[in-house]
Structure 1
Amino acid sequence: MVMLFEPQPLELFATDKAPARLTRLREKLRYLAECGVDYVLCVRFDRRFAALTAQNFISDLLVKHLRVKFLAVGDDFRFGAGREGDFLLLQKAGMEYGFDITSTQTFCEGGVRISSTAVRQALADDNLALAESLLGHPFAISGRVVHGDELGRTIGFPTANVPLRRQVSPVKGVYAVEVLGLGEKPLPGVANIGTRPTVAGIRQQLEVHLLDVAMDLYGRHIQVVLRKKIRNEQRFASLDELKAQIARDELTAREFFGLTKPA
C-alpha cells in the first residue's frame, strides 16, 4: 500500500508559493499501478488533518487504523503538526508498537539528486531529456478535452483544449508532442501551453493541434507527451501574424517527426 496526500501541504498553507505539480492524482494512480502497487490510500490533507500531532499520526492512523507492520518513508519525510515528526521518531515508535521502519535513500542520476525540484528545474531549462531521465518516463500532461472558443479552427489550426487545473504549470511555450489515448499508436502534434497573450487570455491551458488527423475529441481524456521545445509563448500584433507563426511551428514539428505536409 502507498499512502499519499491530496492536496499537497503547500497547496493548503501557501497557495501562492506552492510549486508546480508534475502529475495529477489520476496520473499518480496510473504510474503506481504500473509499478505493481495493489492499494493506494489517498489522505485528504485539510486543516483538521494538518493539526494532527505526530504522535497521533502514528498511534491513530498508522497503528490503530492501518495496523502497519512495515513502513518505508523518504529520507526527508516530516509529519505531524508543525512538522514535528521525523524518521527518528518513527524508529522509536516502531520499537514501541512493533513495526519495522526503513528510509529510502536519496537516488542520483548523472550526479543529480532525483527530486521534484530537479525535475522542475530541468523543465524550466527546456531540458526534456534530463527531465525524462529523472522521472523514468517522458514528461506528459493529461486531461479531458473541453469546448474552447474555436479560435484555432477559424485560422486553420483546430485544437483540442485541455484546461490546466494547476496554479502553476511547470512548462510554458510551444512543443512538438505525441498524443496518447486516441488509438493504439501515439499521434504527432504541436501544442501550446500558456495563457494565449495574443487574444488576451488569462487562464493557463493546453492546446493541441494534431498533424494530419481530424476527429471529434470533446470529452476524451488524452495524455500529451512533450517531445521537443519549439519556442516560448509570445504575443503577436495580429491574428495574421499568429497564424503565420503557427504554420512555422507546425513545419518545425513535422521536421522533428519526419513528416511531410500533405499535398
Structure 2
Amino acid sequence: MEYIKGTTRFKIEEPTVLSLGKFDGLHRGHELLMDYVFRKKQEGLKAVIFTFDIPPKKNVERVNAKVLTTNQEKSRLFESIGIDYLIECPFTQEVMCMEPELFIEMVVKQLNVKCLVVGKDFHFGHNRRGDYRMLQQYASEYGYEVEVVDKMQEDGRDISSTFVREQIVAGNIEKANELLGYRYFVEGSILHGRKMGRAVLGIPTINLIPTEEKLLPPYGVYLSITEWNGRAYPGITNIGCKPTVEGNNPVGVETHIFDFDEDIYGREVKVSFISKMREERKFESLDALKRQMIHDVAFGKQYFRENQR
C-alpha cells in the first residue's frame, strides 16, 4: 500500500475507486463500504481511502478527543485488508474552509476517481455543506459514479465509532470487539521500566506507553494477546498508573506474557484486549500485589486453556 500524507498535492494516475471518511476505527459499520470498494477493485480500479491527518472535529472544536486508531494504526489496518492507496490529507485552514464544489474537483481530478463510495451521513467542505446528493449532482460533469451505502446496525442503532467508543469507555471490551470485528488494540515500542515485575514480584512484564491521543480502556487488568514478530502470545495486561508502586507513575500498558522470556525491548508490538478481569486498585503491600498477580496469571492461563485463540 502507498501511504501519502502531509500534502494536498497528492496525485494518482491510475483510475480509482475512492471512499472518504474519518475511519476512526475500521469497524463493522465500514464493511459494506469496503465490500463495494473491493468489488470495483476486482473490475480493475485501484482502491483508495481518503481521510484526514486528524479528526476534523478535533481541529474545529479544539477538543482533546481520543481516537480509536492512531494514524499509524489506521494505515496498518488498511494495508492489511488490501487497500492500494491511503491518502491522509492535512486538515489545514485552507482545506477546512474549502467549498464542497472545489473539494470535489480537487479530489476527483488529482486521484483520477471513477467511482465514489460513501455513507449517507458523509459530509464535507465548508460548514459541512457537501453530502452524497452533491456528489451525485456533479457525477456526470466529472465522469464518476456514486455508490451510497447504508449503515450496518446492531442493537437497533448504527454501528459507528461513537458506539464503539462508548463500549470501550464503559469497559465492555467484548462488545467493542464485536462491533469492530477484531480485538481492540494498542501498538507501540517496548520501553525499559523499573524492572519490578521480574526483580521484586517474580513476574516479568513489558511496558508500552501509548500516544496521548489513543483511547484506552478503563484502568484495570485485562486478558490480552501480544503480537510480535508474526506470532501471538497470550497474557494479561494492566492499564493504569501502578498505585501500589511509589512514585509518580505515568499511565501505561503493562503486559505479562505467559511463559515468555525473550528480550524485546525497543521492538514494536501490538497488544489486543479480550476481556476485563478486574479493576486496578492499590494494595497494602507489594507482597499483597504479588499474591493477586499470581492469582491473575493462573486465571488467565486457565482461560486460554479453555478458550483456544
TM-score normalized by the length of structure 1: 0.86
| Aligned-pair CA distance for 1:171 | 0.6
Quick one: which of 94, 98, 103 aligns to 1:52? 98
Q: Does the 8 Å CA contact 1:10/1:17 hold for their aligned counterparts? A: no
Q: Does the 8 Å CA contact 2:174/2:275 hold for their aligned counterparts? A: no
Task: Flag the 1:58–1:180 CA change in 2: closer, same or farther, 3 A.
Answer: same
Task: Flag the 1:239–1:89 CA change in 2: closer, same or farther, 3 A.
Answer: same
Q: What does the per-residue CA deviation read over 1:85-115, in whole Å, with 9 as the maximum and x for residues that have no partner?
A: 2222222222332321222211123544211
Is 1:213 matched up with 2:260?
Answer: yes
Q: 3-state SS of the aligned residue for 2:197?
A: helix
State the partner residue of 2:203.
157
Letter in 2 for 1:160: I
State, as a whole percentage, how many aligned pairs show the same letter: 34
Unaligned runs of 5+ in 1: none
State the partner residue of 2:12.
none
Quick one: which of 144, 160, 171 aligns to 2:217? 171
State the partner residue of 2:57.
10
User: Aligned equivalents of 1:82 and 1:235: distance in 2?
Assistant: 48
Quick one: which of 209, 221, 228 aligns to 1:181? 228
Task: Flag the 1:198–1:38 CA change in 2: closer, same or farther, 3 A.
Answer: same
| Aligned-pair CA distance for 1:195 | 2.8
Task: Flag the 1:15–1:240 CA change in 2: closer, same or farther, 3 A.
Answer: farther
Quick one: which of 64, 77, 92 aligns to 1:31? 77
| Aligned-pair CA distance for 1:202 | 5.4
User: Aligned equivalents of 2:52 and 2:248: distance in 1?
Assistant: 32
Range 124-133 or range 64-73, more displaced = 124-133
Letter in 2 for 1:178: I
Q: Does the 8 Å CA contact 2:116/2:146 hold for their aligned counterparts? A: yes
User: Aligned equivalents of 1:202 and 1:16: distance in 2?
Assistant: 25
Q: 3-state SS of the aligned residue for 2:52?
A: strand
State the partner residue of 2:119.
74
Q: 3-state SS of the aligned residue for 1:52?
A: coil
Task: Flag the 1:202–1:5 CA change in 2: closer, same or farther, 3 A.
Answer: farther
Q: Does the 8 Å CA contact 1:21/1:166 hold for their aligned counterparts? A: no
State the partner residue of 2:14.
none
Task: Flag the 1:69–1:253 CA change in 2: closer, same or farther, 3 A.
Answer: same
State the partner residue of 1:131.
176
State the partner residue of 1:101.
146
Task: Flag the 1:239–1:51 CA change in 2: closer, same or farther, 3 A.
Answer: farther
Q: Does the 8 Å CA contact 2:244/2:282 hold for their aligned counterparts? A: yes
Q: 3-state SS of the aligned residue for 1:32?
A: helix
User: Aligned equivalents of 2:121 and 2:233: distance in 1?
Assistant: 40
Q: Does the 8 Å CA contact 2:54/2:91 hold for their aligned counterparts? A: yes
Task: Flag the 1:32–1:198 CA change in 2: closer, same or farther, 3 A.
Answer: same
Q: 3-state SS of the aligned residue for 1:78?
A: coil
User: Aligned equivalents of 1:137 and 1:2: distance in 2?
Assistant: 20
State the partner residue of 2:288.
241
Unaligned runs of 5+ in 2: 1-47
Q: 3-state SS of the aligned residue for 2:140?
A: helix
Q: How many residues align?
A: 256
Q: What does the per-residue CA deviation read over 1:186-243, in whole Å, with 9 as the maximum and x for residues that have no partner?
A: 2111101123333454532211111111111112111112122111222334433333
User: Aligned equivalents of 1:210 and 1:253: distance in 2?
Assistant: 10
TM-score normalized by the length of structure 2: 0.74
Once superposed, what is the RMSD of the aligned Cα atoms? 2.3
Q: What does the per-residue CA deviation read over 1:136-160, in whole Å, with 9 as the maximum and x for residues that have no partner?
A: 1122222221222323233222221
